[in-house]
Structure 1
Amino acid sequence: MALVQVEPSLALGSDCLSRLPIELLLRITNHLTTTELCAVRLCSRSLESALRHFFLLEFFQRKQFMLTDFSLQTLLAIARHPVMSQSLRHVSFGVEEFCDPDRCAQSIEQALIFDKAVAQQKTLLTNGRGLQLLTTAFSLLHNLETVQLRDFPSRTRYRDGPSAAWTSYGFRSMREQLGKNAHYQLANTRNPDFSSRAFALIMAALAQANARPPNIKVLIHTKVAGLKDFAFDLTPMPCLNLPGISAGNGADVDTLDVLAGLRQLHLKLQFILHPLKTRHIRLDDPHLSGRSRLAAMESLPLHAWLAHCPKVEWLRLNLHKEARHYNDVFLSRLGSPLPAYYPLPPGSVASRNITMPFASKLRRLDLGIACCSPGVLLDVLGRFPALEHLSLYRFSLLYERDSAETPDNVWNKFLSTLAKSPLGWQLKKISLRRLSTVTRFHIHPYSRKTHAVKLDGSDGIKYTAELDKPVALWLHNLSISTIRKFSLEEDDSDLDDMDISDGGSKDYLHKEREDSFTEDEFEDGEDAQDEVDDFW
């Protein structure tokens, strides 16, 4: 452990603990539970001062909140605190929603608590109260770097035992109040629109608060809860005069300035909830079928949204498993010119012909839970000349029945082609996991026969290039040694957004880790060692 400089005044306490070197003090307190650590900090002023920096780093660098009055009021209290507000850099929002009102509560008191919570959460999202709370909090968090929307807890809470997890602030106390039926009444959203509404609310609050975090991340496991087209609406909002917020020049507020500064953008998308439904929509491309036109039409708001993100260096797109066979339409149109009839917001300087202005700057691309033809994927990858890191997770390549290739070697040919391309020599890292091959015919949304591609005896692998071992050579060898095994694809939609670890040299993938952080009640937070930049 590196030596840490502590002010001389911090070691002048009368108690023996405060006179210990900070390295020993940290080793001792590292074995305490959260409750015990808080009790130790209350022993003396000198002891609290010695542990303050590390306490804030562990518990108040990252926080997760529910979209409830109680939780957002706590976020506002932290934002107004002169010290905690400076430490908070990563704010997450859970999508816990009060649902299943028909479930019987254990008592009248619990029924009243639940009814009140349902009413407050609904009005919070509809009457402007949530927007005002979030806007005021964001305007006071001057060191904010990441805003995240997520629907799963973290299992990295080492202080309180292996079964403890970080959950959204207020989640545990509410479940205790609701009793044994809480897992029915308060759960991750089952409403397919809830995540999109929450995302739109958060983006509006960032714009109103003049906050410019460089990282926006959406990690959603629930298969029906991805972001829909209306989540990417760019309609300007009237300027609000809120307490503590500068009214500026009274001009309308939009999200264009927020998008202009984004460096990392992670999205879980859901453009088609029912893949088999059709609409009579005419687009400029006559080769698209009715259902494919629907996929292309619903993704237009996102394409316009991306057209206002010129600085993105890391793009992650997790698509929808049940609609994965229409994702080739979306991926093939990624970066295509916007139709002339699609309205851009007032004040937009985006070009209709350049819908990915960040293409020349993108360093990392992650694609998950998608399906497309090999040609479409190669074409998409070729649009990013500066790409250095590629990750494919639960990705399927389409096998055309009239193709000269067999289903067994679709991935072999793709990897070999990628190895020979300029991108193969340019890539520095690559991660492949749970690859498969499917046909266009007789597709069923839950059960389809696939060729599951296994790499080196594992379902996933990663590789980091070295001076004498470029990614291109590794891809070429991998294309030769790939093992094909015909199997029935399992329905594992609950793992839709699981990530893969990267970094290091050639190695198998680590076991999935969940990226999340949450709190007990007020004296809670996230494990500072839970670095989660590499998770689906």
Structure 2
Amino acid sequence: MAHILNVPLEVVLQITSYLTTPEYGYLRRTCKQLEALLFGAFTKEFFSKRQFALVEFSIQALVDIAKSRLGPSLTHLIIHLEHPHNTVINSSSVEKAVQHNQYKAECVNHLEFISSGLDVDMLSDAIKHLPNLETIGMRDFHSLNRSRDGTLWHSHGCPTFVRKTQYRLAIPAPTIPYMGNYRGDRGSEYTSHVFLTILRAIGNAAVVGCNPKLTRIEVLLHTCQFPDQSFKIPDRFDDQISSVLSKLTTIFLDNLMEDEHQEPLFFVRDVGDKTEPARGVGYFLSRFLVKLSALEHLRLNFQSYKPRAVEHVLGWLADAKQDSTDPTANPVDSIASANVRLPLVTPLDMELTAPYAKASDSLPVYFPPAPYFPKLRALEIGMAVVQESQILAVFERYKSTLRRVGFHKTTLSCPVATKFNPWARLCNKMAKADLKLEMLGLSYVKQTSGGTPTRNGEVTFRGSRNKYVKIWRGSTFSRSIKDMIEDMESRWDDISDNADDDGLSTLLGSVAMFLLLLTTEAESMDDDEDDDDDDDDDDLDDDDDDDDNIVI
């Protein structure tokens, strides 16, 4: 052992990179000197970024880690959406019956855990002991970027539980048009619960002055939907949560969903139309975003938004529909309407509960006054159908500070019979708008022309390693963007009637999603090995970036 202690640290780290996680643990425990020598590299690899599930045994492990000497190392905390959920009974043998009982017991415990408020208490306790926490996130997938062992990064404690019970943990199933929630679980309601739990936990920690470095929230979702009601903050928690939100500089919001079951959460009165009620799409999202006064980097992925709904949200961000003459369009009334109570009381009761019922006496205003975001430097818009005018209006509002822009799987809507490259025209207009951009990223962008028949197309880039991705960086955007435009190749599909039956197309897409989900759930329980090291299970690579979007 004395010989290896004399080897330069760089060489030792190179040697240990070839070891499996259990072997690495054995080596660390051979002597105190070697453990101390490797401690810094070990904590950076395994404890700078950690993933846990909102399950009691996993969060208890987080509490233990936070209160140990490893706590200061954790800068990025991820809460995964997997959780025990009722499953098919399979008790063909005593062993299977025992495994089923173990899983069922955890299902009961989990329901108690999330319904009693214990999840908030334990997560708050852990976060209070993470002095260097910078980022907290929520996701529904396991990272593929684990270099050691050639496997996935799992939530702490979950592989052991799955191997012991032989039952996989569930992930909230999305609501599929015409089919609903096929699995019968809480679906997006659970996603909303986890998000609010995270907000309450960081709010509780902020009250006692913890986590001064926390400036990022990242919601990265591949399949789970993120409905608008997720952004509804209860009155009693609003002050402490708002104090945290006002200090955030970065927020990623993925798989945004209009509303549950394709029904409007609220009917509202649009400032631009004082006669007809409108669907309140983005009602709570807008009231959430206005609290982010220090925001520097905003990502909005509108997977489950219709084009008209995206238009409303982008128009609000661009301040395109504000009417200063409207007496109801003031910050107090608009923001207060976020906590509107539906009129479920009798006229007699209304006299006693007037302060609570007052907000529902008339239609609430659609959006609060648009946020200014005086520090906004980076804006990403993904998985949406947008119009050129909407994008330019948003850029015009924030161009004094905006320096980085990204479009990911975004479709540009064009007039009927368009034949030119709409993305090239957008880039030219961005250059003429005198934007001071330092970076522009385009990945998997497309275009569509309205009318019947519709035409769709895509953009590729010559000379790129990935022909669908192009990232420009520089300091002279207006002069240099022509090089990016010259590399664009816009291809339109042949003219055909793509609108044979919109309802049938949606239904077929829903069936395809349903079959994909079934296939995913039927996969064998691979990569669920446990670590023999005393730190248990699996962790996250610090270099992990599985959020699908390009990084700007």
Fold equivalence (TM over 0.5): yes
| Mapped contact 2:307–2:385 kept (Cα < 8 A) | yes
Identify the match of residue 457 of structure 2 among 448, 451, 455: 451
Q: Distance in 1 between matches of 2:70 and 2:227?
A: 31
Q: Distance in 2 between matches of 1:406 and 1:86?
A: 56
Identify the match of residue 115 of structure 1 among 91, 104, 115: 104
Identify the match of residue 438 of structure 1 among 445, 448, 468: 448
For 1:207, the aligned partner's letter is G
Q: Closer, same or farther in 2 for the Cα pair 1:80/1:230, shift >3 Å?
A: same
Q: Which residue of 1 aligns with 2:200?
A: 204
Instruction: Say which is worse superposed, 385-394 or 64-73, in terms of deviation.
Output: 385-394
Q: Closer, same or farther in 2 for the Cα pair 1:371/1:114, shift >3 Å?
A: same
Identify the match of residue 316 of structure 1 among 299, 302, 319: 299
- Matched residue SS, 1:255: helix
| Mapped contact 1:167–1:519 kept (Cα < 8 A) | no
1:409 aligned to 2:418?
A: no
CA deviation after TM superposition for structure 1 residue 281, in Å: 4.3
1:482 aligned to 2:489?
A: yes
1:58 aligned to 2:68?
A: no
Q: Closer, same or farther in 2 for the Cα pair 1:526/1:462, shift >3 Å?
A: same
Instruction: Say which is worse superposed, 225-234 or 385-394, in terms of deviation.
Output: 225-234
For 1:342, the aligned partner's letter is S
C-alpha offsets along residues 105-164 of structure 1, whole Å, 9 cap, x if unaligned?
A: 661112212212222222222211001101111111111111000111111221102xx0
Identify the match of residue 434 of structure 2 among 416, 422, 446: 422
C-alpha offsets along residues 397-446 of structure 1, whole Å, 9 cap, x if unaligned?
A: 22234xxx7154333322221122211xx111111011122345579xxx
Q: Which residue of 1 aligns with 2:4?
A: 17
Q: Distance in 2 between matches of 1:438 and 1:177?
A: 50
| Mapped contact 1:454–1:460 kept (Cα < 8 A) | yes
CA deviation after TM superposition for structure 1 residue 354, in Å: 5.1
Flag structure 1 segments of 5+ consecutive residues without an equivalent.
1-13, 238-251, 347-351, 495-517
CA deviation after TM superposition for structure 1 residue 80, in Å: 1.0
| Mapped contact 1:64–1:93 kept (Cα < 8 A) | yes
1:286 aligned to 2:273?
A: yes
- Matched residue SS, 1:438: strand
C-alpha offsets along residues 286-325 of structure 1, whole Å, 9 cap, x if unaligned?
A: 29987xx32xx23122222222212111111111246345
Flag structure 2 segments of 5+ consecutive residues without an equivalent.
175-186, 323-327, 339-366, 499-504, 514-528
CA deviation after TM superposition for structure 1 residue 371, in Å: 1.4
Q: Which residue of 1 aligns with 2:380?
A: 366
C-alpha offsets along residues 367-399 of structure 1, whole Å, 9 cap, x if unaligned?
A: 111112110111012121211111100111222
| Mapped contact 2:253–2:299 kept (Cα < 8 A) | yes
Q: Which residue of 2 aligns with 1:387?
A: 402
Identity of aligned residues (%): 23
Q: Which residue of 2 aligns with 1:375?
A: 389
Identify the match of residue 85 of structure 2 among 90, 99, 109: 99
| Mapped contact 1:419–1:476 kept (Cα < 8 A) | no
| Mapped contact 1:235–1:345 kept (Cα < 8 A) | no
Q: Distance in 2 between matches of 1:441 and 1:96?
A: 42
CA deviation after TM superposition for structure 1 residue 527, in Å: 2.4
Q: Distance in 1 between matches of 2:241 and 2:139?
A: 21
Q: Which residue of 1 aligns with 2:70?
A: 84
1:193 aligned to 2:185?
A: no
1:463 aligned to 2:472?
A: yes
Q: Distance in 1 between matches of 2:530 and 2:287?
A: 37
CA deviation after TM superposition for structure 1 residue 187, in Å: 3.7
Q: Distance in 2 between matches of 1:276 and 1:533?
A: 29
| Mapped contact 1:399–1:407 kept (Cα < 8 A) | no
Identify the match of residue 25 of structure 2 among 26, 32, 38: 38
CA deviation after TM superposition for structure 1 residue 85, in Å: 0.8
Q: Distance in 2 between matches of 1:520 and 1:324?
A: 47
Identify the match of residue 342 of structure 1 among 319, 322, 334: 334
| Mapped contact 1:73–1:133 kept (Cα < 8 A) | yes
| Mapped contact 1:192–1:226 kept (Cα < 8 A) | yes
Q: Which residue of 1 aligns with 2:240?
A: 254
User: Across the two proteins, how many residue pairs are aligned to each other?
Assistant: 457
User: 5 Å matches for 1:225-264?
Assistant: 225-233=225-233, 235-237=235-237, 254-264=240-250
- Matched residue SS, 1:483: strand
Q: Closer, same or farther in 2 for the Cα pair 1:357/1:124, shift >3 Å?
A: farther
Q: Closer, same or farther in 2 for the Cα pair 1:189/1:46, shift >3 Å?
A: farther
For 1:221, the aligned partner's letter is H
Q: Distance in 1 between matches of 2:261 and 2:385?
A: 17
Q: Which residue of 2 aligns with 1:248?
A: none
Q: Distance in 1 between matches of 2:379 and 2:61?
A: 35
